[in-house]
Amino acid sequence: MVSTAFTRLLKPLLLPLASGDHYIDPPVVLAPMAGITNAPFRTLCREQGAGLFVSEMVTARALIERRPETLRMIVPGKDEWPRSVQLYSVDPTTMRAAVTMLGKENLADHIDMNFGCPVPKVTRKGGGAALPFKRKLFTSIVGAAVEAAKPFGIPVTVKMRIGIDSDHETYLEAAQSAADLGVAWVALHARTAAQMYEGKADWSAITRLVEHLKPTGVPVLGNGDIWSGGDAISMVEQSGCAGVVVGRGCLGRPWLFTDLVSALKGEGKQVTPTLHEVREVMFRHANLIVEYLESEDRGMRDIRKHMAWYLKGFRVPREIRHDLGMVSSLQEMRNLLDQLEDQPYPTEVGEKPRGRTSHGRPPTLPDGWLNDPDELVHVELEDAFSGG
């Protein structure tokens, strides 16, 4: 059980919107995940208590080019508010244009900027977790976003990693720069880009960042290895962060947010759905995706990747598990799910790491990127892909 004194330490997170200050209470945020945090998944997490739910990462260039799939990615679910969009760009002009578009057309209430993505197709353009190393470029991009968002009353936040690798840590300086420019908060995934999703997150880096930004008054959110309500409590107690950002821990487990909210309120309740309860969440998720994509074929292809996460730890016949991973219609999925025998939630397995487990590797960077943090290296503008 969490002490009452502890719960009073964790204040609601302020999100200063044009319509008036909005408080995220408790401060629990769904991390943007490419191919995962579309409107249907955000709906499931929102219903379970997530205070803020960020869209999949979209590129600023794809947005201003009005690519249909990118525009679809920022459409909120029914009753979704605040509408939160995560942008990625390696160019200040493009970032400014995208933020201005979101503001003028009233397409977002909050903008998060991605400086944490470690995947090669992003870092090879100098984007994501690679970009904060270039101090002037980072400052120009963040400054352009904050300035463009200001007339519309849209708060801007940043999400970053510790740095490119252990020899090129940038989070303290970059966060200070972002804070000075006027971001509402800084979220830190406590790994380097080189780590990808390997090993344990270094929560001590979150602690250092909290102390570093105290004079600015800008809150720090912690991200990395939150698999249970207890993990969230431990992160807050150890680091003093103002809130938590949760990504892989909620894959196939949107009810994790109920656990997180309960833990951070000092209630200590835990949701342990039976397999029959989980299968109904799975089927609803599939229906939401089909409706969202307006295509049963596309929807069923999209839900397939979620099957193993939902069923993690449960005893499921190999044939049914295989067939669910290849399911092609809602009726077929219903028939397969109805064959599952009910059983208790596998707590020990269910709360263990899930999702990406990419092994660490040297990041793919533009030629000469690490020569000088102040030198602007010519990079090809980001591809207008819709994810990362």
**117 included as an active-site residue:** yes
How would you class 195 by CB atoms within 10 Å of its CB: exposed for 0-12, middle for 13-18, buried for 19 or more?
Answer: buried
Q: Where are the alpha helices (DSSP H) in 80-228?
A: 92-104, 120-123, 135-149, 171-181, 203-213
Rounded Cα distance, 271 and 21, in Å = 31
Rounded Cα distance, 145 and 103, in Å = 11
Neighbouring residues of 294: CB distance < 8 A, sequence distance ≥ 6: none
Residues paired with 244 in a beta bridge: 28, 222
Other beta carbons within 10 angstroms of residue 380's beta carbon come to 10
Query: Taking a C-beta distance cutoff of 8 angstroms, is the pair 158, 115 a contact?
Result: yes
Catalytic position from the list 45, 117, 241, 250: 117
Query: For the chain, what's the residue count?
Result: 388
Neighbouring residues of 310: CB distance < 8 A, sequence distance ≥ 6: 252, 253, 278, 281, 282
Query: Taking a C-beta distance cutoff of 8 angstroms, is the pair 374, 136 a contact?
Result: yes
Query: Taking a C-beta distance cutoff of 8 angstroms, is the pair 250, 53 a contact?
Result: no
Query: Taking a C-beta distance cutoff of 8 angstroms, is the pair 15, 22 a contact?
Result: yes
Query: Taking a C-beta distance cutoff of 8 angstroms, is the pair 300, 333 a contact?
Result: yes
Output the CA–CA distances (angstroms, integers) from residue 100 to 60, 142, 181, 287, in the order listed. Answer: 11, 14, 17, 34
Rounded Cα distance, 303 and 30, in Å = 19
Just list the catalytic residues: 117
